[in-house]
Amino acid sequence: MTLSAIYAVAYNGFLVLGWSVVLWRSALSLLDYKENGLRTFYADVENSLKVSQTLAVLEIVHAALGLFSSGVFLTAFQVASRLFLLWGVTNLGGLPVQQHYGVVLMVLAWTITEIIRYSFYGLTVCNKLPYCLKWCRYSFFIVLYPVGVAGELLLIFKLMGMPKVTEMMSLRMPNKLNFAFDFYWFLWFVLLLYPIIFPQLYGHMFQQRRKKIGEQEKKTE
């Protein structure tokens, strides 16, 4: 096994472990729902979630160096959008956002998706990929993708209803930079991107599913 392959296995294996911790802590927190509701959910998963998701920045480097086959632009866009939702929406919004049920939808969708994805990549490098994991990789998104997007939208809407937060992130004129930025309207811009980008990415995943699984299922009939 080459050095790059060893690194790929280690990287993907570490993130499978990291996201598994997020899933485990999520499950423990939800088991205490009757007692605590969602008051402690985000706090329970926060550290492991931030580490696991923020490490995805390395995927941009991997794509740029050609270590993995992913495109640089698409990888950068996906990673940046996740980091914005994590740090620029959930973390920034504080308790009102972090205790919203949209966090549960987003975190669970992200977590299950990433455990499957990193397991898929790691085992593919090892040439040990079982068909069941391949099927999960190209099937679970049918439910998880819309659930995750629903959670993300709910959190953005919740943040938009917090004037102090949106005002805090805005830059008004006049200023030394001679530049104005309105965080509230930036959030509206982000929201408007969803109906444009989501159908394309969702449709792309269905195309990948037909390509990766559909042909193999036809051969077994």
Among 114, 109, 106, residue whose Cα is nearest residue 90:
106
Q: What is the pLDDT of residues 112-154, one digit of tens each?
A: 999 999 999 999 999 999 999 999 999 999 999 999 999 999 9
- Whether this prediction's pTM lies above 0.85 is answered by yes
Read off the tokens for 80.
Answer: 């940046």
Provide DSSP, 35-51: HHTTTTHHHHHHHHHHH
Mean pLDDT score, 147-167: 95
> Per-domain residue ranges for the chain?
3-213
Rounded-to-integer distance, Cα 180 and Cα 117, Å: 40
Q: Which residues are catalytic?
A: 145, 152
Strand, helix or coil at 99? coil
Provide DSSP, 146-199: HHHHHHHHHHHHHHHT-HHHHHHT-BPSS-TT---B-HHHHHHHHHHHHHHHHH
Q: What is the pLDDT of residues 22-76, one digit of tens each?
A: 999 999 999 998 888 899 999 999 999 999 999 999 999 999 988 877 789 989 9
Read off the tokens for 170.
Answer: 């805005």
pLDDT at 117: 96
